Structure formats: structure tokens, C-alpha cells
Structure 1
């Protein structure tokens, strides 16, 4: 075999053996698509646009009016929040003092230190009860150690009463005090006794134990007392000793006339 025959190239493949390359963006139905788009454009141009009626115009006006006030209002709220944020941050920082005070309270199995209870009586007068330590006995009863009650009375007057132990019934608004009960009122009344029962709602204090009282009227020792602070009633019960301040002073006019009548009869 000759060299020319061995170097002769192979015949090219036929159309069936190799697929023809076609452009992907070529649309054979382009004329039909253009005609369809032209028809849609002509239909849009031929469509008659109707003018809005009175109802639609009113709705648009209301929407524009709402946007006219709502958007500036929203902007004002945002600006106010930005301006007020430093003050809010300052108030949050002030809560540290309250948290520090709450840290002094220790609650363990119903026990609390430096507790405070506030309430109103039947005449909307404020009273406040504080105690060195308290122990919660159920949902109503609270046992107190070194309780102190400050009571607001009529006419901007007040009373202060304390003892070594006490029991506070929260729902009934009653306070029972025991051991070294001392009552002081701003009119100068001072009372000492071993026990006392307080109806904080009715503003009444009573006791069946002995009591020693001192005040502008003098001194009084009795086996019990009843004190209605709203009605201004103070009663001592049982046998006792009364020393009035006017007993040591000069006799009254009626007493002088009585003495003169006794001398005349003699």
C-alpha cells in the first residue's frame, strides 16, 4: 500500500450521525407571537378608561386625609420616644435603690424581715403595720415580732402603738398585740399594758388586761379599756384608781359654793 493511500482522511459523517446546532433564543413562531402582542396592545388602546365616581373620590380623599395626619403623628411618636429614652433609662437606673431595699428582705419558708402592711379603715384613713420579722401562717394569719402600727385618725391626728409580739389577720383587718403594749396618741395620751386588740377597720382598740394611762386628764389605772378613736370614746372598765389633774388644783366655783353652804349650816 502506498503512502498516499494511508494518509487519506476519513469521509465526513452524515447528517443523521451528527445533530445540527440550533439557537436557543430562536423562536420559529415569532411572527405569531408578535401578532398576539400587537393585538393585546391594540385592545389596551381601545379600552375606555372610566372616571372615578363620587364614592371612589370620597374614599380617596379620606385615605389621603388619614395619611396626612397618620404619617406626621407616627413621626412625632418616634421622635418623642427618641427624646424620652434618656429619661426612661434614668428611671430604670433609679430602681437600683428599690432593688437594694428588697435585697434586705429575706424570705425563707414564709419568714420575712422588715415587712410592711398598709390598708384603709372604714373611713378611708390609712394605717401601716411594720415588723422586724414576720412568719406567714396560711393565707390570712401573719405572726409578727416587734410590730409597730401607725394609724391615721380623724382631724389629721394619729396614733402609734407597738409591742413585742403580734398577730395580724389580713382579711379581717385585726391586730392582736402581746407583751409590753405601748399606745401613744398625738393629743398626749400614753397607755401601757400587757395586751391589746385592734380592729383596724372600725378604728377600735380594747383590752381586758390591766392598763396604766396618762394624759392631759391625769392618770388612770384600770383592769381594761375600750377606745373608739373615730367616735372619740374612751372608757376604762373594772375597779381602778383615777387621779385627775384638776384634783390637785384650786376648787372650782361650784365646789367653793358647796363648801360655803356647808360652813353656813354649821
Structure 2
């Protein structure tokens, strides 16, 4: 049996709450407590009280208002979602009008002539060549001639000068007016501001007057002038009397030839 005793073995376990410096710690805590009790609390002045009242009043209205806004947004969300879906459909529809490197599809141009009458130009494809010139593919021009009359002209290609208000048409130009006049030709030049249409190429015209083949034409829509230029063939309708002698002979010659 080992009866060796050392000073370390003689030490007994100590409890923390019975530490030797416990009295010193309690004294420090008591001093801090007394210092806290001795502090003087200053009552708020009128300005501070007014600020506190304003803050409380704001919170009194702001918090219920925020709650109502949140509830209203929850209730309105289905409608908002519906509008968003409609906007997506509208964007898909607008996607048909594409602008890529100066090209535009289904473009529409509107303007007024010198007499305040409306004209409108549409085209399947347009290409902007600058601030003024626009090349057109399958252009169509609708022109108001007066309060109750109009003209419609189309072609395969066109050149529209916006500032000058001129339109040059090429390839399969067809002009139709509501008075029954129909013109076909390879080209036509329009002064949209003055309501003038002219061409230096051949033209075939039909209407209440009959038929006309010529090497060009000039139409002043405002003045009511229609002129054909160059040699051509004219066949006029006569609704108010018997046919002329030449027409009767041509008719009899046709019957004899049969």
C-alpha cells in the first residue's frame, strides 16, 4: 500500500460559488448597481414628445395601409396575370412587324396632300435607304380625291420619298378609281402632294368612256384632267345614239368575215 502524501494530493476540490474572491466580485456588482441607481433620467422635452407622437401616428396608419395594399395585391393578382398573358399575345402580334438592318414588314405611311386630303401607302416589305428614301416591295397607295371619291394604285416595286411626297412605281402598275377608270402599265410616277399621276410608258385604259391604248398618260386628280400621250388606239362607248358609220361598217365587215 502506498502511503505517499504530496501537497498536491492534500488539496481538496473547490466550488466556484465559494471561490475566495467571491466577496470581491459581489462588491463590484453592488457598486455597479448603485451607480446605475444613481443615474438621473432626463424627461423628454416637447420636441421629442412631438416626434414620438408623429412616429406613432404614422405607424398607426402606415401598418394597416401596408396590410390593405398587400391584401389588394393578392386579390388583384389573377387580373394582373391575365393582363400579362394578353401583353405576351400583343408582343407576339407585334413581332410580325420586324425591323432588321433597315428592313420593315407591313409598314404604313400616311400623309396629307396640298388640299388636306389623306393618302396612305402600305408595303409588304420596306427598306430604309436614308432619312428620306424608302424602297418598297408590293406597295399599295390609297388616295382620297375628294370627300366622296378615291383612287387605288399598286405595283410590284416602288420608291417613296417622304419629304418630297413622291412615289415611283414599277412593274405591273394598276390604277383604279371609283369612277370606273382602270389603267394598266409598267410604271407610274405620283406627286402625292399635288394629286398628279404621270407615266411615259405604254398604258391600257378602260372606263365608262371606252378603251384607250397610248404611250403615256397624265392625270391631275384635283383639276379632273386625264390626258393620253403619243399615238394609240381609242375605242369610245356611245350610249346616247346610233353607232357611227365607221363603227357600223366595222361591225358589218366582222359579220361578213364570219
C-alpha contact 2:196 2:218 (8 A) present in aligned 1: no
Shift of the alpha carbon at 1:82? Answer: 0.5
Q: Within 2, Cα distance between the matches of 1:164 and 1:196? A: 12
SS in 2 for 1:9: coil
Matched, 1:194 2:172: no
TM-score, normalized by length of structure 2?
0.62
Count of residue pairs the alignment pairs up: 229
Sort the Cα spacing of 1:171 and 1:52 in 2 relative to 1 into closer, same or farther, 3 A: same
Matches within 5 A, 1:147-158: 147-153=138-144, 154-155=146-147, 157-158=149-150
Equivalent residue, structure 2, for 1:36: 35
Matches within 5 A, 1:116-265: 116-122=106-112, 123=116, 125-131=118-124, 137=129, 140-145=132-137, 147-153=138-144, 154-155=146-147, 157-222=149-214, 223-228=216-221, 231=222, 233-236=224-227, 238=229, 245=237, 247-250=238-241
Sort the Cα spacing of 1:58 and 1:8 in 2 relative to 1 into closer, same or farther, 3 A: closer
Deviation sequence 1:179-218 (CA, Å, 0-9, x none): 3311012332211222111234554422233433322344
Sort the Cα spacing of 1:36 and 1:62 in 2 relative to 1 into closer, same or farther, 3 A: closer
Q: Within 2, Cα distance between the matches of 1:58 and 1:29? A: 40
SS in 1 for 2:7: coil
**Over the residues paired in the alignment, what is the CA RMSD in angstroms?**
4.7
TM-score, normalized by length of structure 1?
0.61
